[in-house]
Amino acid sequence: FLARGTSVGYNDILVRVCAVALREHPAANARLAEGGIEHLDRANVGVAVDTERGLLVPVVHNADRLTIPGIAAETARLVAAARSGRVAPDDLGGGTFTVTNLGMFGVEAFTPVINLPECCILGVGMIVRKPVIVDQDDTIVVRSRLTLSLVFDHRVIDGAPAARFLDRIVQLIENPMLLLTSE
């Protein structure tokens, strides 16, 4: 459950979504190492944080083993530590994947830069209400839309496995009940 004063935000849910997708798509949960490609057995998801000293990426370690409230509490701790300048070196290392969100700045889409040695980063834009065609009869309705940009290192993962990984992220966002059935 949540610690007093901690709330769940979109980024916390996205960290959980990405952690589940990383566990299901091990080719995306890898990084470039000296001896070649290192496949990781834990999903350690970094969250890009804007600080007075510049961008920092504290890592939610073992995010695939945490609940959304657990991720929210850990993310709140990490963001506070990063912004206060008291983040521990261990909290900045060991990431396997990064989520960066510019939606709060009104950015709909962007291309993030990979946080090496990780092989992927997910750019998240702002949620926008847009008209969408929903059926064969060309019915138009207004829906909330979110642009995701997955940038990946082709030395570690090819385009097709990366696309399947991104598709799984989309499935989990569009059907959050799937998070309850994922191991």
Residues with active-site annotation: 154
Cβ-proximal residues to 14 (8 Å cutoff; 6+ apart), any chain: 99, 101, 122, 124, 173
Strands 59-60 and 128-133: unpaired
Query: CA-to-CA distance for 156 and 32, rounded, in angstroms?
Result: 7
Query: CA-to-CA distance for 29 and 157, rounded, in angstroms?
Result: 9
3-state secondary structure of 40: coil
